[in-house]
Amino acid sequence: MPKKIMVIDDDPIIVKYLVTLFTDNGYETCSASDGVQALETVKTASPDLITLDLEMPQEWGSRFYRKLSKDEELKKIPVIVISGLAGQHAVKDAVAFIKKPFDPDKLLGIVKKTIG
């Protein structure tokens, strides 16, 4: 059974790009466009890894991450931050922080190292 990656980003072009990248490399995907929707989706979708944008409407990625970290089951899910913002922004336990624009091969390397 393929590993599932959840893409959280408010830019539909980025979401489509990442979903295609991961699907083409054998992963299942799901997505959310903000932190509120993401929290609901992560509970039902049970992803193996999350890619997280920081700057989003309604609820920023860092706030979503704090909520995720307080849940005993969900906090085990590895998170890769993909953002145009500089710095970690309260997501200090992320597996990696990748600045937009990013190298897709570098991202895939981190994903493969993290979840296979």
End-to-end CA distance of the chain: 12
- pLDDT score for 25: 97
- Which class would CATH give 4-115? alpha beta
- pLDDT score for 45: 96
Angle at CA of residue 8, ends 4 and 9, nearest 5°: 140
* Statement: residue 100 has pLDDT above 70: yes
Q: What is the pLDDT of residues 65-98, one digit of tens each?
A: 889 999 998 999 999 999 887 665 567 788 999 9
Q: What is the pLDDT of residues 1-57, one digit of tens each?
A: 899 999 999 999 999 999 999 999 999 999 999 888 899 999 999 999 999 998 877
Cα maximum dimension of the chain? 36
Q: What is the pTM of this model?
A: 0.93
Domains of the chain, residue spans: 4-115
- pLDDT score for 55: 83
Give the mean model confidence (pLDDT) for residues 99-108.
94
- pLDDT score for 24: 98
Q: Could you give the C-alpha distances from 43 to 9, 33, 49, 54, 71, in angstroms and in order?
A: 17, 15, 13, 20, 10
Query: Helix (H, G, I), strand (E, B), or coil: what is residue 91?
Result: coil
Rounded CA gap, 18 and 29, in Å?
Answer: 9
- pLDDT score for 17: 97
For residue 77, what are its two tokens?
Answer: 């899910």
- pLDDT score for 58: 78
**Which residue from 1, 88, 81, 76 is spatially nearest to 42, judged by alpha carbons?**
76
